[in-house]
Chains A and B, each alone.
Chain A
Amino acid sequence: MSLPKILSVDDSRTMRMMVKRAFRDFQCELFEAADGAEGLAAALANKPDLIVLDYNMPVMDGVTMLRNMRENADLKRTPVIMLSAEDSNEIISTVARLGVRDYIIKPFEDENLLSKVNRIINLERKPETDQPAAV
C-alpha cells in the first residue's frame, strides 16, 4: 500500500520543518517546495494527496499557485489546507472560492494541523520501534 503524499509549500524553511515535525510520528511521504512555482512543479511531479500551502511567498504566491492548480486537470481536485499568518477575510474568501478545504492561521499547534489533515486523508501512526532492553 502506498503512503499518503503530502506537499508542504512555504518560503520559510522553519515552517516547512515545523510541518515536517508535526507529521514525524505518521506514515506519510512528505515533499517540500519553497514557493508557488516550485510547489506547482512538485505537485505535478508527485501528485500529492494533500498540499499544505502558505499564502505569502516570493516568485509565486499561494493564491496564484492555487489558480494554476485548478486549471490543471491533474491537480484541480487536490485538497489544499492553507497555513498562513494572513487572516484577511478577502484572502480567506478568495481561497475558499478556489476550493481550499481548510485554513489555519499562524501561530498553529501540531494537533490542530493533524486534525484538519485527518479529515482529508487517513494518517496512520508509525509502528513503535523496539526499545532496547534495559540492562
Chain B
Amino acid sequence: MMISSQLPVSLSETAERALKEIFSKQLKLSLGPATSSDEIPDLKVFHASVSITGERVKASVLLQISEAFAAKATKILIGCDGAGEEIEDATGELCNMISGRIKSELTTAGFPGVLGTPTITFGSRIDLRDTIGSELCRTEWVCGTDHINLQILIHTQP
C-alpha cells in the first residue's frame, strides 16, 4: 500500500481554526481575514516561531504581530502592562498555543510531531519561502486595527 505524504488537511483552514481558537478563548478577541484593501503596515514586528518535528513532518509556525498588538495581548494575558521581556515571552506563548492546535490537527491527519520551544525576534516582516517538497501557507488577519500574520511552512514524508 502506498503511504501518501500529501496532507489531508488544508493548511490555511488549519491556521484559521488555530488562530481563531486562541484569540477567542485566551485573548477574548475576534479576528477576520484581511482584505485586499487592508494595507499591511510597514512596521517592525515581533516574530515568534515554533517548530513541529516528527518522523513524517517538519514544520515551522511563524506568528508576526506589531509591537502595539503584542503589548495589548500581553496585558490581556497577564492582567497588567508588560514590558520588554514580558511582551516577548507573551508573544512566544501565543505562538506556542497556536502551534499546539496546529500540531493537534497534523497528528489527527497522521503526521504526529512534538513542539519546539518558541523563539522570538523583532524586526522587519519576514516571508517564509517554500522549497521543493514543502508546502507554505501565508495568512493575513485583522483584529480591530491590528494586522496579524501567520505562516506555516511544512515538509512531510511518506
Query: Bound state CA distance, A11 and B79, in angstroms?
Result: 19
Whether the pair B25, A85 counts as a contact (CB closer than 8 A) is: no
A-B contact count (CB 8 A): 65
Q: In the complex, which residues of chain B have a beta carbon less than 8 angstroms from the beta carbon of A13?
A: 85-86, 89
Q: Which of B3-11, B33-41, B107-115 contacts A (4 or more CB under 8 A)?
A: B107-115
Contacts of A86 in B (CB 8 A): 100, 103, 114-115
On chain B, which size bracket covers the interface? 20 to 34
**Closest chain A residue, CB of each to CB of B92:** A12
Which residues does chain B contribute within 8 Å of A90, judged by CB atoms?
112
Residues in B neighbouring A85, C-beta threshold 8 A: 96-97, 99-101, 103, 115
B93's contact among A15, A57, A87, A105, by CB below 8 Å, is which?
Answer: A15
Contact assessment for B78 and A17 in the assembled complex, using a CB-CB cutoff below 8 Å: yes
In the complex formed, the residue of A with least CB distance to B22 is: A107
> What is the minimal beta-carbon distance from A22 to any residue of chain B, in angstroms?
10
Residue-wise interface mask of A (22-53) relative to B, using a CB-CB cutoff of 8 A (1 in contact, 0 not): 00000000000000000000000000000000
Chain B min CB distance to A12 (Å): 5
CB 8 Å contact bits of B103-138 with A (1 = contact, 0 = none): 110010000101111000000000000000000000
* A contact residues, total (Cβ < 8 Å): 22
Mark contacts of B69-92 with chain A using CB atoms, 8 A cut-off: 1 yes-contact digit, 0 otherwise: 000001001110000011001101
Interface string of A75-88 (1 = CB under 8 A from B): 00000000011111
The answer to whether A12 and B112 touch (CB under 8 A), given A17-B78, A21-B78, A58-B117, is no
Bound Cα distance from A13 to B77, whole angstroms: 11
A64: CB under 8 A from chain B?
no
**Residues of A with C-beta under 8 A to B117:** 11, 56-58
Partner of A18, one of B77, B92, B99, B107: B77
Residue pair B22, A88 in contact (C-beta under 8 Å): no
B30 at the interface (CB under 8 A from A): no
Point out residues on B near A: beta carbons under 8 Å. Answer: 21-22, 25-26, 74, 77-79, 85-86, 89-90, 92-93, 96-97, 99-101, 103-104, 107, 112, 114-117
